[in-house]
DNA sequence: TCCCAATATGATAATAATTGTTAAAAATAT
DNA sequence: ATATTTTTAACAATTATTATCATATTGGGA
């Protein structure tokens, strides 16, 4: 994998963002600076870098794939309404992670991926509360 | 079967409800936050998911079919090498699921999704034994 | 430094999957 | 039977992603 300005820019942008951007989002941001950048290049590089383990591809629902430049163990919560993906405070999952850590070798697994579905603060506050159940 | 927002929303709604809702009922609830959702999409996805064994179609009397999302809540392992997906004995996850169940309300979540990554028996036996991840 | 093979890019076409809409069909009720 | 409700089918439009390919860029050796 050679060093190219496009690849470096894509990686930098991904790391600078906290919002787990899609290829399209990265493309849009970079384009203002690199007008001749091609969307295909963004897709190609995100794929390559996630193959190489430099970044992480999130297995999130929704039409678009999302990427994460933070490789440390942490989990995500995805808003079922607006599709935004946020990190969850890792400490919350201490218990879960411990249990899973015990399971991994037994199941011959390398790693795992946990995604929670809910409604983000923004959508909850502005919304009608349609998802909450009372019964 | 890709993960689409509609499909996930339908599944989440089904799981959040304890009343074995009909397609129409799910449609009505979801519509408040997804106004452009189509009833055909709800039918289509309920059918697909029950075919895939993700949910269950109930054989009850009455004019409308009812669906149950309480099925298993099982997790699976995906082989990073060949892409095959296997189910894992649900009991294995008792501890993990219990911990997550406690977390869900606290995090205002409705559902979660756990995917383990490893190499399946076949790939392990024929492979080099190395544990590279290839995503 | 210049040259060259390997690799990457940009532009565009091709692919694949799903959706919303609408109409048809099946099932149920009147 | 007819009318009404529930379900499926057909289909065009949309869209994210991948593939193609001619050109350009990269890194390494002479």
Q: What is the pLDDT of residue B83?
A: 61
Q: What is the mean pLDDT of residues A90-115?
A: 88
Q: Which of A92, A21, A25 is nearest to A57 (CA)?
A: A21
- Check residues A107 and A133 and name the one with the higher pLDDT: A107
Asked if residue A128 has pLDDT above 70, the reply is no
Q: Clarify whether residues B63 and B81 are in a common domain.
A: no
* φ, ψ (nearest 5 deg) of residue A50: -75, -35
Q: Clarify whether residues B59 and B10 are in a common domain.
A: yes
Asked if residue B82 has pLDDT above 90, the reply is no
A48, A79, A113, A131: best to mutate for the B interface, most B CBs within 10 A: A131
Contact A128 B33 (CB under 8 A): yes
Asked if residue A104 has pLDDT above 80, the reply is yes
Q: Which nucleotides of C are covered by protein (CB under 7 A)?
A: 7-13, 17-23, 27-29
- According to DSSP, the β-strands at B109-118 and B76-79 are parallel
Q: How confident is the model at residue A108 (pLDDT cuts 50, 70, 90)?
A: confident
Q: What is the CA radius of gyration of chain B?
A: 18
How far is it, in rounded angstroms, from Cα B77 to Cα A38? 35
Residue A6 lies in a domain: yes
Q: Clarify whether residues A18 and A77 are in a common domain.
A: no
Is the pTM above the cut of 0.85? no
Question: CA angle, B90 as apex, B66 and B81 as ends, to 5°?
Answer: 105
Q: Which residue of B has its CA nearest to A52?
A: B134
**CATH no. for residue B51?**
1.10.10.10
CA atoms lying within 13 Å on the CB side of residue A102: 10
The 10s digit of each residue's pLDDT in A84-100 is: 889 998 999 999 999 99
**CATH no. for residue A109?**
3.30.1490.190
Q: Of B26, B47, B68, which one is at a domain's C-terminal end? A: B68
Q: Count the neighbouring beta carbons within 10 Å of the beta carbon of residue B47.
A: 15
Q: Clarify whether residues A9 and A64 are in a common domain.
A: yes
- Check residues A78 and B125 and name the one with the higher pLDDT: A78
**Distance between first and last Cα of chain B:** 19
Residue A77 lies in a domain: yes
Find how far residue B118's CA is from the centre of its chain: 20
Asked if residue B57 has pLDDT above 60, the reply is yes
Q: Is A36 (CB) below 7 Å from strand C?
A: yes
Q: Domain count of chain A?
A: 2
Indicate the range of A119-133, B32-46, B75-89 predicted with least confidence: A119-133
Pair A110, B117: CB distance under 8 Å: yes
Residue A94 lies in a domain: yes
Nucleotide nearest to B35 (CA to C1'): C20
**CATH no. for residue B110?**
3.30.1490
Q: How confident is the model at residue A34 (pLDDT cuts 50, 70, 90)?
A: very high
Q: Which of B44, B117, B57, B40 is nearest to A56 (CA)?
A: B117
Q: Which residue is nearest to nucleotide C19 (CA to C1')?
A: B41
Percent of all residues in chain B with a pLDDT value above 70, rounded to a whole number: 81
Residue A133 lies in a domain: no
Residue A129 lies in a domain: no
Q: Clarify whether residues A65 and A79 are in a common domain.
A: no
Q: What is the mean pLDDT of residues B80-97?
A: 76
Q: Clarify whether residues B45 and B26 are in a common domain.
A: yes
**Which B residues between 3 and 62 have a beta carbon under 7 A from any strand C atom?**
4, 6-7, 34, 36-41, 44-45
Distance A11 CA to D26 C1' (A): 18
Asked if residue B39 has pLDDT above 70, the reply is yes
Q: Which residues contact B44 (CB under 8 A, 6 or more apart)?
A: none
Q: Is A2 (CB) below 7 Å from strand C?
A: yes
Q: Clarify whether residues A64 and A78 are in a common domain.
A: no
Distance A130 CA to C30 C1' (A): 36
Per the structure, the complete domain to which residue A92 belongs is given by 72-124
């Amino acid at each position: 994998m050679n060093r190219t300005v496009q690849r470096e820019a894509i990686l930098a942008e991904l790391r600078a963002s906290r919002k787990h951007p899609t290829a399209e989002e990265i493309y849009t941001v970079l384009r203002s600076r690199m007008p001749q950048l091609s969307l295909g290049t963004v897709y190609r590089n995100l794929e390559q870098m996630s193959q190489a383990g430099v970044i992480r591809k999130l297995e999130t629902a929704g039409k678009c794939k999302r990427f994460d430049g933070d490789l440390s163990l942490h989990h995500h919560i995805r808003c079922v309404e607006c599709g935004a993906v946020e990190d969850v405070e890792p400490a919350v999952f201490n218990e879960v992670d411990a249990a899973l850590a015990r399971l991994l070798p037994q199941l011959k697994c390398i790693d795992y991926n946990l995604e929670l579905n809910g409604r983000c603060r923004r959508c909850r506050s502005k919304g009608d509360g349609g998802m909450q159940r009372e019964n």
